[in-house]
Structure 1
């Protein structure tokens, strides 16, 4: 997952500053996930880090929904790229379903009391979350790639 993130930054970095920052946010999110996953067993002393990760997840998906996808739609319209708009409308429901899982994770682990009561479940929740987020990153990469190709063609 981290290698795919690096690859996305290399391929699309510089296309748009907002997207660059978002891809960096994704990378930080993945690195934080990896550190958590490597912990194995969790204790209440891990709760602040778990809560921070849950907050980072919500921040990441919020930027996607309220900034990035909107920006991609505007750019697709500006470049008269109906295919990119079509792809955006096809993938948004898929992306939304991953957002719901992120919000469920935040509901479970976002508060100290709730998080502490579910520490035994956390490794399983992290594993399931990794699958969902990898799916989401794939959808997002497709959207960025479609838009990037449109920009490259128009610029050439």
Structure 2
């Protein structure tokens, strides 16, 4: 996921302030996810459960990220695609429902872990399994988001080359 993010930043970074902010928020979310899931390069030799406050903080970031996508970024990207051609609009419109599937998984995760937890809360014992499920959904989401950005980027680049 971090490698995909780096490619996205290399490809689309610096071209749009909203996209840059969105990719930075993705990076922050992924770093917190990797720390929470105890994954490299943020793995910790201590195999204890994460702090409940860290789980709560991650849930807030997760909801902010998916909300930003649905209520700010996707609308802008789809609008830009509509300006460029019907085929790019159709591609963009077909990707948004695919992205929405992972939103449901993210919101389910937040519903389960987003409230204040304690170290003794039994939900914490389900955290690893739920993080794995969330990670798979978010990886798919990032792939669809990147396709959405790529669709826009290709259309804008093609127009700039034909209309210098």
TM-score tier after normalising by the smaller chain length? over 0.9
Question: What TM-score, normalized to structure 1?
Answer: 0.92
List per-residue Cα deviations over 1:39-89 (Å, max 9, x = no partner).
54316xx1111011011111001010001110011111222x222211122
Segments of 5+ residues of structure 2 without an aligned counterpart are 39-43
Query: Aligned-pair RMSD on alpha carbons?
Result: 1.5
1:29-48 correspondence runs (5 A) = 29-38=29-38, 40-42=47-49, 46-48=51-53
Q: Residue 114 of structure 2: which of 93, 110, 113 is its match?
A: 110
Equivalent positions of 1:50-129 (< 5 A) are 50-79=55-84, 81-113=85-117, 116-129=121-134
Q: Which has the larger Rg?
A: 2
Please, what TM-score do these two structures have when normalized by structure 2?
0.88
Q: Secondary structure at the match of 2:37?
A: helix
Please give the alpha-carbon distance, in whole angstroms, between the structure 1 residues aligned to 2:79 and 2:16.
Answer: 13
CA distance in 2, matches of 1:23, 1:41: 30
Number of the residue aligned with 1:144:
149
Bigger fraction of residues in helix: 1
**Count of matched residue positions in the alignment of Structure 1 and Structure 2:** 153
CA gap of 1:37–1:122, structure 2 versus 1, over 3 A, is same
List runs of 5+ in structure 1 lacking aligned partners: none
**For residues 88 and 41 of structure 1, what CA distance do their matches in structure 2 show?**
42
In the alignment, is the contact (CA less than 8 A) between 1:75 and 1:147 conserved in 2? yes
**2: CA distance, partners of 1:18 / 1:117:** 39
Higher relative contact order (CA 8 A, sep 6+): 1
SS of residue in 2 equivalent to 1:112: coil
2-side partners of 1:151 and 1:14: how far apart?
Answer: 15
* Cα contact 1:33–1:53 (8 A) shared by 2: yes
